[in-house]
């Protein structure tokens, strides 16, 4: 059972203590701003705030709000490496939680400062006093938790620490648990009943949860104003009609399989139009498949980009289905090999990000891709996913006749997918470097992984090693060995 907090310290020795009669109101001239800050800091370490019988002025509450807000804003800025922009709209929206907290405190505390003082002259009292203390009391947890985040962002902490999912969750829970404990203890110290303290705690936990769910956008964002940006696509009737013809012509032009030849067919899918790195990478992979793996005329490139709306099919889930179906009708589904390469941003829910404004494009899931391949009856599959958290694609896509490799495991980001990147680290190491030297996907992957690790260390990747993954089905391995032997004999 929660202990009722009645043993609040009296004023600090250096402060003049003015005794109050049972019916007296708090003195008009109370503590100075510096002392409110000091006592709030003590409350942040779960110590007693020695402000019994005192009330802050309106100017002091405003000063505390301004000072603490400046500290929070500065700490958030330090988490950003490089130029950043401040979003005032998001910053203002974040104050809704403060308003909700004020209401909860007003509900929880005894009605009126005078009545509280009458009941116990040694207790702090009043919503203004509580808020002045609470805003400052949040600073210790802000300095501790945000300091750890800042250290990770600037490479002070080792990758093995910052890349650990338990570290991230631990810091998150530490922040909210500490802040909640400070708030609940303060409410109890102000004389709230056990029932109201409990109700306040649950209400504030709900406010915290809603903030994390709906109001978690950062008010500092990277400043990309100096970067060259490709103008967005103009979605006209001509573009739509041209796109339909381009896709139909592309699928109709797929070369048929050659009897007695183990052919490679390719499908390269890049659905994120806002960053040119995916255009460059998908074009490179299509070229490597054509030149190195004898897949010229047998590779379909689907790409979302403003400059290719009239030359390449759009990367949408519907077009992916159409391309897989068309490829399955041209290839020997039992003996040839289909190589699928996906490149985009990835999320922790394992969906491949899609963007082609003003066109609305659905994200792609591993389940969708697996269903399309199964429906087409394509047996031998090599699937590579270059995206953050792409390790989550392994299990849904794995079969005895499939090789799946990903740029990261299921809990880490990959690297090199920013606006200034030429290629992703995975695409560069695997296709631009190693697969130009070998026809073995397994060998290329094994050689590429340490290169990726070192480049991520050199680049200061903040969340640790991406940890690329590979899964090779038992029945695909001899097929790929036969392919290597054939390509090695190629003139």
Q: Which of 76-80, 137-141, 161-165, 379-383 has the lowest mean pLDDT?
A: 161-165
What is the full DSSP assignment across 42-88?
Answer: HHHTTPPP--TT----HHHHHHHHHHHHHHHHHHHHHTS-S-EEE-H
Q: Is residue 17 part of a domain?
A: no
- Domain final residue pick, 191, 222, 253: 222
**Residue found under tokens 């993954």:** 469
Q: Is residue 228 part of a domain?
A: no
The CATH number covering residue 304 comes to 3.40.50.1460
Domains: count for the chain: 2
Q: For CA atoms 112, 114, 115, 119, give the dihedral sign.
A: positive
Query: Does 382 score more than 70 pLDDT?
Result: yes
Q: Is residue 24 part of a domain?
A: no
Same domain? For 292 and 188 the reply is no
Average pLDDT of the residues of the chain: 84
- Domain final residue pick, 222, 256, 288: 222
136/172: higher pLDDT: 136
Cα(181)–Cα(204) distance, rounded to whole angstroms? 10
Same domain? For 399 and 432 the reply is yes
Q: Is residue 422 part of a domain?
A: yes
pLDDT tens for 79-97 read 887 788 888 888 888 888 8
pLDDT tens for 1-47 read 333 343 334 444 444 444 433 333 344 346 899 999 999 999 999 99
Cα(118)–Cα(23) distance, rounded to whole angstroms? 6
172/18: higher pLDDT: 172
* Full residue range of the structural domain in which residue 348 is found: 237-488
pLDDT tens for 256-303 read 999 999 999 999 999 998 888 899 999 999 999 999 999 999 999 999
Q: Which of 253-257, 450-454, 459-463 has the lowest mean pLDDT?
A: 459-463
Q: What is the pLDDT of residue 26?
A: 41
Q: Which helix (H) or strand (E) holds 451?
A: helix 441-459
Q: What is the pLDDT of residue 309?
A: 84
Q: What is the pLDDT of residue 42?
A: 93
Same domain? For 64 and 193 the reply is yes
Residue range 439-461: mean pLDDT, rounded: 89
Same domain? For 366 and 455 the reply is yes
Cα(343)–Cα(303) distance, rounded to whole angstroms? 10
Max CA distance (Å), the chain: 104
pLDDT tens for 89-139 read 888 888 888 899 999 999 998 865 444 444 455 678 889 999 999 999 999
Cα(486)–Cα(479) distance, rounded to whole angstroms? 11
Cα(56)–Cα(132) distance, rounded to whole angstroms? 7
Q: What is the pLDDT of residue 110?
A: 81
Same domain? For 285 and 401 the reply is yes
pTM attached to this predicted model: 0.59
Same domain? For 186 and 297 the reply is no
């Amino acid at each position: 059972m929660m202990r009722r907090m009645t043993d609040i310290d009296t004023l600090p020795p250096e402060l003049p203590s003015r005794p109050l009669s049972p019916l007296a109101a708090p003195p008009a001239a109370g503590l100075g701003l510096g002392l409110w800050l000091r006592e709030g800091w003590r409350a942040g370490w779960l110590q007693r705030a020695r402000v019994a019988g005192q009330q802050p002025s309106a100017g002091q509450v405003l000063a505390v709000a301004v000072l603490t807000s400046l500290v929070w804003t500065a700490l958030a800025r330090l988490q950003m490496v490089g130029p950043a922009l401040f979003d005032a709209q998001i910053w203002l929206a974040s104050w809704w939680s403060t308003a909700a907290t004020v209401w909860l405190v007003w509900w929880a505390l005894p009605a009126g400062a005078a009545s509280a003082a009458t009941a116990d002259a040694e207790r702090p009292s009043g919503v203004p006093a509580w808020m002045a203390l609470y805003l400052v009391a949040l600073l210790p947890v802000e300095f501790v938790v945000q300091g750890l985040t800042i250290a990770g962002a600037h490479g002070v902490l080792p990758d093995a620490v910052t890349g650990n999912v338990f570290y991230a969750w631990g810091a998150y829970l530490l922040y909210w648990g500490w802040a909640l404990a400070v708030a609940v203890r303060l409410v109890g110290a102000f004389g709230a009943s056990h029932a109201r303290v409990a109700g306040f705690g649950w209400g504030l936990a709900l406010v915290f949860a809603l903030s994390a769910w709906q109001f978690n956008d950062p008010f500092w964002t990277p400043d990309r104003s100096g970067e060259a940006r490709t103008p967005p696509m103009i979605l006209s009737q001509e573009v739509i009609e041209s796109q339909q013809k381009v896709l139909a012509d592309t699928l109709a032009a797929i070369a048929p399989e050659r009897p007695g030849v183990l052919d490679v067919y390719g499908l390269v899918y890049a659905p994120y139009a806002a960053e040119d790195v995916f255009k460059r990478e998908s074009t490179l992979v299509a070229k490597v498949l054509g030149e190195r793996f004898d897949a010229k005329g047998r590779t379909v490139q689907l790409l979302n980009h403003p400059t290719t709306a009239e030359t390449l099919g759009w990367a949408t889930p519907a077009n992916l289905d159409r391309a897989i179906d068309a490829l399955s009708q041209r290839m020997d589904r039992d003996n040839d090999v289909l190589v699928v390469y996906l490149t985009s941003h990835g999320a922790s829910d394992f969906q491949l990000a899609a963007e082609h404004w003003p066109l609305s494009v659905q994200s792609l899931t591993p389940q969708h891709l697996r269903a399309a391949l199964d429906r087409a009856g394509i047996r031998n599959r090599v699937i590579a996913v270059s995206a953050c958290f792409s390790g989550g694609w392994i299990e849904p896509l794995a079969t005895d006749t499939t090789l799946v490799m990903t740029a990261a495991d299921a809990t880490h980001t990959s690297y090199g997918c920013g606006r200034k990147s030429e290629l992703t680290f995975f695409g560069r190491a695997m296709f631009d470097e190693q697969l130009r030297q070998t026809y073995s996907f397994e060998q290329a992957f094994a050689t590429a992984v340490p290169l990726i690790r070192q480049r991520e260390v050199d680049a200061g990747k903040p969340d640790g090693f991406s940890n690329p993954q590979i899964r090779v089905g038992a029945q695909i391995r001899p097929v790929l060995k036969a392919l290597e032997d054939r390509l090695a004999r190629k003139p």
